[in-house]
Amino acid sequence: MGGHPKLLFWTAGLSILASIVHGLLVEEHFEEWWAFGVFFMLAATAQGLYGFAIVASHVMNGSPITDRWPRRNLQGFYLAGILGNAALVLTYVASRTVGVLGEVEDWEALGVFTKLVEVATAALLVRLLHLSRTRP
Distance CA 100, CA 117 (A): 22
Question: pLDDT, tens digit, for every residue of 70-127?
Answer: 889 999 999 999 999 999 999 999 999 999 888 999 999 999 999 999 999 999 999 9
Rounded to a whole number of angstroms, the distance between the first and last alpha carbons of the chain is: 8
CA-closest candidate to residue 128, choices 56, 61, 60, 50: 50
pLDDT score for 3:
59
Contact assessment for residue 51 and residue 12, using Cβ atoms and an 8 Å cutoff: yes
Interatomic CA distance for residues 14 and 7, integer angstroms: 11
Vertex 96 angle, CA 90 and 101, to 5°: 90
Which residues are paired to 100 by β-bridges? 103
pLDDT for residue 1: 36
pLDDT (tens digit per residue) in 10-32: 999 999 999 999 999 999 999 99
Contact between residue 132 and residue 4 where contact means Cβ atoms under 8 Å apart: no
pLDDT tens track for 60-84: 887 888 888 888 999 999 999 999 9
Provide the whole-model pTM: 0.93
Q: Taking the alpha carbons of 18, 21, 27, 33 in that order, is the dihedral positive or negative?
A: negative
